[in-house]
C-alpha cells in the first residue's frame, strides 16, 4: 500500500481531496504556476481566480480558506509524492542490500526530485515555488505549516537523514534542521537554476554526482 493510500484520511483532511475535484485541482495547478513564475508575495488570490478561469470568485476561499492554506496544500501534495517515491526506492534497496552506503542514501534524497522534474512538466513550476519557500520560509506569507508538513509527511525522509548521519559520523542522531535547510537551499536552488538555463544537464551523471557530493558535504559537515 502506498504512503498516500495508507494516510488517505489524513491527507484528504489536509488537502481537501483536490485530485478528485476538478475545481480544486485547477486552483492548485494555477496557484503553483503563478507562485513559481510570478512569485508568492506578488501573486494575489484574484490573480489565481483569473488564471484558473473561475466563474465564482469565492471558489478559492470556499475550497482552501486563504492563500496560506493553499500554499500548505501544494506543499503537502508534492512532499507526499516525493515521500512515496523515496520510501518505495528505500524498501527496494533494502531487498538487495543489508546496509546502505552514503551514496545510496544521497540517491534516495536527490533521485525522486530529479525523476519528477524530468517526467512531469508541472514540477518545473513547483521547483520555482519550492525554492521561494525554502529561501524565504521566515516570511510572513510562508506559514509555520511548512514545518508541520515536513514533520507529518516526510517521516521516512527524516529516517534517511538519520541513517546518513549514523554511517557518516557514527552518531545515531537526527541531522540538524540548519544542515537540512542548507542542503535544500543548495540542492533545490541549483536544480531550479539548471532546469531554467541548461535543462539538458539534469539527467547527466556528472551533474548528479556533483549534486550528491556537495549535498553530502553540507549534511555531514
Model pLDDT, residue 20: 56
Place of cell 502506498: 2
Domain span at residue 208 reads 3-220
Q: Is this structure's pTM higher than 0.75?
A: yes
Q: Dihedrals φ, ψ of 119, to 5°?
A: -115, -15
Q: What is the CATH number of the domain that holds 32?
A: 1.10.357.10
Residue 118: how many CA atoms within 13 Å on its side-chain side? 12
- Please give the C-alpha separations between residue 192 and each of 100, 130, 133, 168, in angstroms, as whole numbers: 28, 9, 13, 28
What is the number of domains present in the chain? 1
| Sheet strands (E) in 34-184 | none
Q: What is the DSSP letter of 176?
A: P
Place of cell 475550497: 63
Q: What percent of the chain has a predicted confidence (pLDDT) above 90?
A: 48
- Please give the C-alpha separations between residue 64 and each of 14, 21, 24, 45, 93, in angstroms, as whole numbers: 10, 13, 8, 11, 38
Model pLDDT, residue 2: 37
Model pLDDT, residue 12: 41
Q: Low-confidence residues of the chain, pLDDT below 70?
A: 1-20, 137-147
Q: Is residue 218 within 8 Å of residue 183, measured between CB atoms?
A: yes
Q: Is residue 39 within 8 Å of residue 132, measured between CB atoms?
A: yes
Amino acid at each position: 500500500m502506498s504512503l498516500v493510500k495508507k494516510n488517505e484520511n489524513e491527507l484528504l483532511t489536509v488537502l481537501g481531496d483536490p485530485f478528485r475535484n476538478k475545481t480544486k485541482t485547477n486552483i492548485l495547478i494555477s496557484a503553483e504556476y503563478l507562485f513559481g513564475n510570478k512569485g508568492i508575495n506578488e501573486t494575489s488570490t484574484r490573480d489565481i481566480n483569473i488564471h484558473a478561469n473561475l466563474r465564482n470568485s469565492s471558489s478559492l476561499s470556499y475550497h482552501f480558506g486563504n492563500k496560506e492554506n493553499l500554499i500548505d496544500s501544494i506543499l503537502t501534495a508534492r512532499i507526499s509524492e516525493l515521500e512515496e517515491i523515496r520510501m518505495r526506492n528505500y524498501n527496494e534497496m533494502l531487498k538487495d542490500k543489508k546496509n546502505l552506503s552514503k551514496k545510496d542514501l544521497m540517491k534516495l534524497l536527490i533521485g525522486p526530485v530529479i525523476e519528477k522534474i524530468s517526467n512531469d512538466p508541472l514540477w518545473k513550476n513547483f521547483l520555482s515555488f519550492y525554492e521561494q519557500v525554502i529561501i524565504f520560509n521566515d516570511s510572513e506569507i510562508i506559514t509555520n505549516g511548512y514545518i508541520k508538513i515536513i514533520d507529518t509527511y516526510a517521516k521516512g525522509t527524516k529516517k534517511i537523514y538519520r541513517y546518513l548521519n549514523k554511517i557518516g559520523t557514527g552518531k545515531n542522531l537526527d541531522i540538524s534542521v540548519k544542515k537540512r535547510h542548507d542542503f535544500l537551499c543548495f540542492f533545490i536552488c541549483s536544480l531550479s537554476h539548471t532546469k531554467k538555463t541548461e535543462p539538458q544537464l539534469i539527467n547527466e551523471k556528472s551533474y548528479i554526482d556533483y549534486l550528491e557530493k556537495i549535498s553530502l558535504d553540507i549534511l555531514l559537515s
